[in-house]
Structure 1
Amino acid sequence: METKKLFILAHCRGMSNQIILKLIQMDPTLQIIDELNDQHWNHYFKLSNEKIKSFRADYESIDVNKLLKKYDDEKISFLPLTNVLYPKLLKNIADPPPFLFCKGDLSLFQLKKIISIVGTRTPSKNGIETVEKFIKPLVREGWIIVSGLAKGIDTFAHKLTLENNGKTIAVIGGGFYHLYPKENWRIAREISEKHILLSEFPPATIPQKWHFPLRNRIISGLGLGTIIIQAKKRSGSLITAHQALEQNREVFAVPGSIFDENYAGTNELIQQGAKLVTTANDITEEFDQII
């Protein structure tokens, strides 16, 4: 694949992952980009004339070498789908990101013992204690913890992993220059230095609401399974759980009181077939035969 052309596409307005993946399927070298006229873009990729104009303006104006040097100075790696360092499990989902922007120790992607933990942004004391109960033994056994750096359970999953000298991967829903939530910048910096901070969006991308369901498929796609700790009905955590199921990954749910809305989603997942878990061993035993 022509990495520089892909790098340019990553920064062009009007280019969705679906369009980029379709272009790669049509021509892995991406030389086809220079051969397509406006009618082709409109007919095959459903781009409006306005989006075609924006795309061409960006495609022709981006200084690739200058931008690559800027990212290199900032220790930002551009990781195409075809790169040997690209996470193997993520590559196998139905809609893998055609590229990732990463900061940190990319060798972590090659390890097998990767598990995701997500949950509510407003956890109870019991929820936080539950995260700790699972994190400590998982980290002790060498599991890498993936989460989304969101408020609540995600943040505690990352913090407790770091406090217990474990390794963690944080997937964010915007670019590195616009970290959300802003109060997590310290932990994000620590993760970006010795762990992995990643996004499928270029660094200058301002996070949008629709970015987060996309982020969730990466959280579930990176690991062998996903643990749900406190999730309300119709929550982002449930979206992650359902994406994990679609990706043929294990889903684990911690049960809770029927009088606590923070457990309505997790209890529903158990009704639907997710494995009820109360200890880390309930999770690790599922992978004894493959690790």
Structure 2
Amino acid sequence: RVLATYHEQGINIIPISSKQYPFWLKTIYDPPAVLFAKGDMTLLSKGRKIGIVGTRNPTAYGIQVVNHLTKELCRKDWVIVSGLASGIDGMSHAASIKAKGRTIGVIAGGFQHIYPRENLQLADHMAKHHILLSEHPPATKPQKWHFPMRNRIISGLSEGIIVVQGKEKSGSLITADQAMEQGREVFAVPGSLFDPYAGGPIKLIQQGAKAIWSAEDIFEELPERNVQYTEPF
């Protein structure tokens, strides 16, 4: 009965044993046992994926960077992965839609409790034309601890993570740390020394992340041979 209800709501359940389960996510040390998905299921296996994360309070510079990088990545058919949060995350999804690209939103909690409410319209659009993912059943209300857990899925789905803006202690850096642990590439966009939201990217660069000035820097680090497969050979 529960499965029938999910089906009526357009929700797919993907156990880790399924061929539909994203191969790259399967390779992390703590993959979700089950994914709940709403939208275009082909996006789980189609296209190379890259995550974009950052502060919930971007400056005009951060917004400009997101729009520019996303447009260039979509032009090369990269799928943009992010967390549907306020600020950089939501803007990454919106920018990829505007650029006629594809995007994946990973949410904390379940589909019946989209957070933040300001991105509800964006989430509805993505659930119809792109895809939303969660490791929690639809009725689950988002809890504080769900957000760092969600971040490991964003990085786990992606070949690399781009951090645009963030303070030295922020969710964006948690995602970047998890990406490093998972063996993913981490890219950081430098900012002004006088901007508190430049602290996170500067710290990442000091730790070995690649500073980027354009999408070309990403393409050089992740050349065509890094293709994703739905199943290992």
- Same fold judged by TM-score > 0.5? yes
Q: Does 1:206 align with 2:141?
A: yes
- Out of 97, 106, 113, the residue aligned to residue 178 of structure 1 is 113
**Structure 2 alignment gaps of length 5 or more:** 228-233
- Out of 162, 166, 170, the residue aligned to residue 227 of structure 1 is 162
The answer to whether the Cα contact below 8 Å between 2:148 and 2:174 also exists between their aligned partners in 1 is yes
- Tell me the distance in 2 between the aligned counterparts of 1:136 and 1:121: 20
The one-letter amino acid of 1:153's match is I
- Out of 84, 93, 97, the residue aligned to residue 32 of structure 2 is 97
Q: Residue 176 of structure 1 aligns to a residue in which SS?
A: coil
Q: State the match for 2:66 in structure 1.
A: 131
TM superposition shift of 1:112: 4.4
How does 1:1-291 map onto structure 2 within 5 Å?
66-288=1-223, 289-291=225-227
Between the two structures, name the one with larger relative contact order (CA 8 Å, sep ≥ 6): 2
- Tell me the distance in 2 between the aligned counterparts of 1:290 and 1:97: 23
Q: State the match for 1:15 in structure 2.
A: none
- Tell me the distance in 1 between the aligned counterparts of 2:118 and 2:214: 31
TM superposition shift of 1:132: 0.9
- Tell me the distance in 2 between the aligned counterparts of 1:97 and 1:210: 15
- Alignment identity in percent? 53
Deviation track 1:184-235 (CA, whole Å, cap 9, x = no partner) reads 1111011011111010000000000000000000000001000000011110
TM superposition shift of 1:257: 1.0
State the aligned residue count. Answer: 226
TM superposition shift of 1:109: 1.1
Larger Rg: 1
- Tell me the distance in 2 between the aligned counterparts of 1:92 and 1:269: 23
The normalised TM-score by structure 1 is 0.77
The normalised TM-score by structure 2 is 0.96
Q: State the match for 1:50 in structure 2.
A: none
The answer to whether the Cα contact below 8 Å between 2:47 and 2:77 also exists between their aligned partners in 1 is no
- Tell me the distance in 2 between the aligned counterparts of 1:70 and 1:111: 27
Structure with greater proportional helix content: 1
The one-letter amino acid of 1:144's match is V
- Tell me the distance in 2 between the aligned counterparts of 1:112 and 1:129: 25
Q: Residue 112 of structure 2 aligns to a residue in which SS?
A: helix
Q: State the match for 2:230 in structure 1.
A: none
Moved more, 280-289 or 87-96: 280-289
- Tell me the distance in 2 between the aligned counterparts of 1:158 and 1:144: 10
Deviation track 1:40-86 (CA, whole Å, cap 9, x = no partner) reads xxxxxxxxxxxxxxxxxxxxxxxxxx111110000000000010000
Please identify runs of 4+ aligned residues in structure 1 that moved more than 3 A: none
**Structure 1 alignment gaps of length 5 or more:** 1-65
